[in-house]
Amino acid sequence: MAQGPTITTIAARAGVSIASVSRVLNGLPTREDTIRKVMAAADELGYVPNAAARSLKSNRTYQVAFAMADIGNPTYVAMVREIQPVLKAAGYRLVLHSTDGDVDDELDVLRRLGERYADGLIISPLRGFAQQHLDLLAGAPAPVVVIGSVPQDTPVDNVRTDSRTGVRLALEHLYGLGRRSIGFLNGPLDTIPGAARAAAYTDALAALGLPYDPDLVEVGDFYRAAGARAAHRLLERSRPDALLCANDLIALGALDALREERLRVPEDVALVGMDDTELATAAWPTLTSVSLGSAERGRRAAELLLDRLEDGAAAPRIVTVEPTLVVRASTEGAS
């Protein structure tokens, strides 16, 4: 059992000088019987070599970091649940960073990779890859896998989803239910998902032959309370018969707002979330939601990183996970 042995306790146990222990642990030439005594004492005391000293030699920490925007968003939890076992089976411990989607925080995580506290990084940058990300990425001393979009030809392993198809599936479903006034509660347009979903919503409306009505669109943030506020603002000026929400947290907020306005879901307003998190089934009525394959994206990212740790020179790969629509009570009525 490790009792936090130090160079001093090892010296005492081995019956040699502190200087001798230091020489042995640092691999300097020493008398053979001294080496044997020190190694035996270190072993008995459960001595753990200092990671700093050790990583200078082995160049491996057997830690991998995952940097995500918000530990409170079940999308990322679903990713962690898949990433962790894949890495663990390969002997790596996972450490997590919750960046609040703050670009400086993300850049700091990338920069600190240079300090070799982890052998690799999976990062899901909320506001996309800026030039600064790319600069740091180019010189990253450890493999990086990005979950989310990156600019074309960025030389990095990348797992993405197709939210455009996801939005289209949601609107076609609502259209099929006879809804024609389909509102949209989005997150910030300077985020990757916000921008992508805004474009996808516009395109999907056009494909269905529905007009784009700015009164039916509100932009808030990817949190529940922000979703409720956005829904209230939208309902003040228009009366949609369906609402698409850019994630499940926004949809939960919309559900709060609709309840306050005494509108029934789905009778008056059909409601669709995105990400298909566990909140979708915690809510009542349960939420129809676009699954963007978070679990699968997490698993694929972990696999790409392990491959990269094996072979740093292979060509970067892009994996795309297809979305699906999971229909529940918030659009179809019966639980």
What does the binding site for its own copies look like in residue numbers (CB under 8 A)?
1-6, 48-56, 61, 63, 65, 71-72, 74, 77, 80-81, 84, 93-98, 108, 111-112, 114-117, 132, 135-136, 138-141, 224, 252, 259, 278-279, 282-285, 335
d(C-alpha 290, C-alpha 168), whole Å: 10
Instruction: Report the residue number, 87 or 192, with the smaller CB distance to its own copies.
Output: 87
Tell the smallest beta-carbon distance from residue 315 to its own copies (Å). Answer: 20
d(C-alpha 110, C-alpha 117), whole Å: 11
Instruction: Report the residue number, 169 or 292, with the smaller CB distance to its own copies.
Output: 292
Tell the smallest beta-carbon distance from residue 61 to its own copies (Å). Answer: 7
Q: How far is CA 6 from the centre of its chain?
A: 39
Instruction: Report the residue number, 142 or 242, with the smaller CB distance to its own copies.
Output: 142
Side-chain half-sphere CA neighbours of 124 within 13 A? 27
Tell the smallest beta-carbon distance from residue 286 to its own copies (Å). Answer: 10
Tell the smallest beta-carbon distance from residue 142 to its own copies (Å). Answer: 10
Tell the smallest beta-carbon distance from residue 114 to its own copies (Å). Answer: 4
Instruction: Report the residue number, 7 or 319, with the smaller CB distance to its own copies.
Output: 7
Q: Which residues 6+ apart lie within 8 Å of 12 measured at CB?
A: none
Question: Inter-axis angle of helices 131-138 and 103-112, to 10 degrees?
Answer: 10
Instruction: Report the residue number, 3 or 152, with the smaller CB distance to its own copies.
Output: 3
- The amino acid occupying position 84 is Q
Give yes or no for a contact between 261 and 193, defined as CB atoms under 8 angstroms apart: no
Tell the smallest beta-carbon distance from residue 70 to its own copies (Å). Answer: 9
**Beta strand residue intervals within 229-304, DSSP E:** 242-245, 270-274, 288-291
Instruction: Report the residue number, 1 or 209, with the smaller CB distance to its own copies.
Output: 1
Q: Judging by DSSP bridges, how do beta strands 324-326 and 288-291 pair with one another?
A: antiparallel
Q: CA torsion, points 165, 264, 180, 328, in degrees to nearest 10?
A: 30
